Structure 1
Amino acid sequence: HRLLHIHENIPGVMSEINKVFADNGINICGQFLQTNEKVGYVVIDVDKEYSDLALEKLQQVNGTIRSRVLF
């Protein structure tokens, strides 16, 4: 499964994103991060199903602009 998270480029966002997955028992098997001075985006591959609650928590991460499931 692959998810996309677009966020403000501020300290701590990646830590919060990774915590959402860890707290929900979801293993991250790959990440690609790209940033500029204002915005960051990360593509996240996970190895199992995720709950709607996990997606909701991901959208609540401080600095989130948009998040979505790619597949």
Structure 2
Amino acid sequence: MHIHENRPGVLTALNQIFAEQGVNIAAQYLQTSARMGYVVIDIEADGDVAEKALLAMKAIPGTIRARLLY
């Protein structure tokens, strides 16, 4: 799950993280308001890849919070 400021480029940056690692995105759920948004991304990857992706997600400018859900 990624909670972020609602600004251009955040969703692109998130998807790029998974594309660069060759991870398949099985599903996404996105909701935004004028100031913030959140996205839940269901991926098909092992724990090591998920942890690496989490670190990259936390580094995206505008990130408020990012975490893994199991």
Aligned residues: 68
Residue matched to 1:33:
30
**What is the deviation of 1:54?**
2.0
- Tell me the residue number matched to 2:41: 44
Q: What corresponds to 2:65 in structure 1? A: 66
Give the C-alpha shift of residue 25 in structure 1.
1.2
CA deviation map 1:6-55 (0-9, x unaligned): 00000000000000111111111100000000000000000121243222
Q: Normalization by structure 2: what TM-score?
A: 0.90
Seq. identity, %: 47
Give the 4+ runs in structure 1 shifted more than 4 A.
none
The answer to which structure, 1 or 2, has the higher relative contact order (CA under 8 A, 6+ apart) is 1
- Equivalent position of 2:53 in the other structure: 54
Query: Which stretches in structure 2 are left out of the alignment for 5+ residues?
Result: none
Q: Which runs of 5+ in 1 are unaligned?
A: none
Q: Note closer, same or farther for the CA distance 1:35–1:51 as it changes in structure 2 (3 Å cut).
A: closer
